[in-house]
Amino acid sequence: MEYQILNRSVIKISGDDKHKFLSSITTNIVDQDQLSYQLILSATGRLICDFFVFPGIDEYFLDTGLKDRLLSTLIKYKMRSKVLITEEDLQVVYSDQPFGKMSFKDSRYDKLRYRSIVSDGLDKGSDLYMQDKYDYGIPDGEIDMIPDKTIPVEFGIDILNGISYTKGCYPGQEVIARAKHQGVVRKRLYLLEAENDIASSNGAEILHQGEKIGALCSSYKNKGICLLRKEEPFLEASLEDKTIKMKIAPWY
């Protein structure tokens, strides 16, 4: 079995109001049987943090790369809810087959593999998730999306099963619904590839015929993810004097 230990934290939510509490502040339906990908947004529809919810027997486990932001936001919204919020000493594993009892397919895209929560103590493993992330163009909140600025639908988070348009109210819902239904989403994620390593170029401008068309969100070896205008099919461009080839993320 191939696996990668992810640089993530685990937070446990328990108590009588755990389901109602999470459902009231997240963008997606909190599934009590399957893994769900979730976001918490500001009132203006900007990303505060993203995370996965693992259903347990009497609790939920949250898998996040933005631990401090998520903890402070949960505490802010807790108020009189009967919930207990604790940080757990556990690891998050991405693997090519189920790993332990708390293991689910990554719900964002059907070609992604398994996410699991396990006891601490495993070594790092391979770069399996990094390979899949940059082969399929999967954005992550702590790497690609800028908290407090990103509008998630521009990154296709609704297509990646992170936003439900049928669930009840949550902070920022009106902004997200308006962006979707009025057709104001004018950007899409692209995969890019260069001949040489671009890992040191995060945030660098992407140019097409001398005009800036976007910026590199993140990269791994000679591959990267960028956000560009969707009206024009940019197939080739330049990044710090490197010629790059681009194609739209395959999950659109």
Tell which of 126, 150, 181 closes a domain: 181
- Amino acid at the residue 209: Q
Q: Is the pLDDT of residue 19 over 90?
A: yes
Q: Residue 51 in contact with residue 70, Cβ under 8 Å? A: yes
Q: What is the mean pLDDT of residues 109-129?
A: 93
Lowest average pLDDT, out of 110-114, 124-128, 158-162, 203-207, goes to 203-207
Residues 115 and 11 in one domain: yes
Give pTM, 2 decimals: 0.94
Residues 120 and 19 in one domain: yes
Report the SS3 class of residue 225: strand
> Which residues, including other chains, have CB under 8 Å from residue 216's CB and lie 6 or more apart?
192, 198, 201, 202, 203, 204, 206, 224, 225, 226, 239
Q: Is the pLDDT of residue 168 over 80?
A: yes
204: tokens are: 């660098």
N-to-C CA span, the chain: 30
Average pLDDT in the chain = 93
Total number of domains constituting the chain: 2
Alpha carbon distance 78, 159 (integer Å): 29
Alpha carbon distance 75, 66 (integer Å): 14
Instruction: Give 148's DSSP letter.
Output: T
* Residue range of the domain that includes 228: 187-248
Residues 196 and 148 in one domain: no
